[in-house]
Amino acid sequence: MKKALLIALASLTIGASTVAWSAGDAAAGKTKAAVCAACHAADGNSVNPEWPKLAGQHETYITKALHDFKDKARENALMSPQAAILSDQDMQDLAAYFSSQEAKPGAADMTKVELGEKIYRGGNIATGVAACAACHGPTGAGNPAAKFPSLQGQHATYTKLQLNMFRNGGRATDAGKMMRNIASKMSDAEIDAVSEYIAGLQK
Do 121 and 95 fall into the same domain? no
- Position 58 in a domain: yes
Q: How far apart are CA 65 and CA 74, in angstroms?
A: 8
Q: Are residues 86 and 117 in the same domain?
A: no
How far apart (Å, rounded) are the C-alpha atoms in residues 104 and 162? 20
On whether both 156 and 84 belong to a single domain, the answer is no
Domain membership of residue 170 (yes or no) is yes
For residue 57, report the phi and psi dihedrals to the nearest 5 degrees: -70, 150
For the stretch 144-193, pLDDT in tens is 999 999 999 999 999 999 999 999 999 999 999 999 999 999 999 999 99
Distance between CA atoms of residues 153 and 102, nearest Å? 11
**Do 141 and 71 sit in the same domain of this protein?**
no
In one-letter notation, the amino acid at residue 61 is Y
For residues 146 and 191, membership in a common domain is answered with: yes
Domain range for 117: 113-199
Same domain, 118 and 191: yes
Domain count of the chain? 2
Which CATH number covers residue 150?
A: 1.10.760.10
Tens of pLDDT along 133-144?
A: 999 999 999 999
- What percent of the chain is modeled with pLDDT above 70? 89
